[in-house]
Amino acid sequence: MEEHTILAAEENFGAVSVCPGGIVHINLTHMTLKLVPSDFEKFSDLVAKARQNFSRPKRIDGKPRLQVVANETSSDENSEKS
């Protein structure tokens, strides 16, 4: 079996390696991608762009959402209302 060079690894998640033939292997828990180097670079750029967009604060358009707030009253307040 050929030796792969590990480029990056994250315990309990996955790893990225390259085989002697130059194919990049992205191994995740339930999935493996095999890419030629130029496609790996494109894929990396795509994920980097997605990561930037994912990190941006999300703007909420329209009316604010209803929030239910519990109002705890003490026994003194309840007795005054009687």
- What are the extents of the domains in the chain? 1-39
pLDDT digits (tens, 9 = 90+) for 32-66: 999 999 999 999 999 999 998 886 666 667 766 77
What percent of the chain lies above the pLDDT cut of 90?
A: 56
DSSP assignment of 4-48 equals PEEEEEETTTEEEEE-TTS-EEEEETTEEEEE-HHHHHHHHHHHH
The mean of the pLDDT values for the chain is: 84
**pTM attached to this predicted model:** 0.62
Give the pLDDT of residue 1: 46
What percent of the chain lies above the pLDDT cut of 70?
A: 73
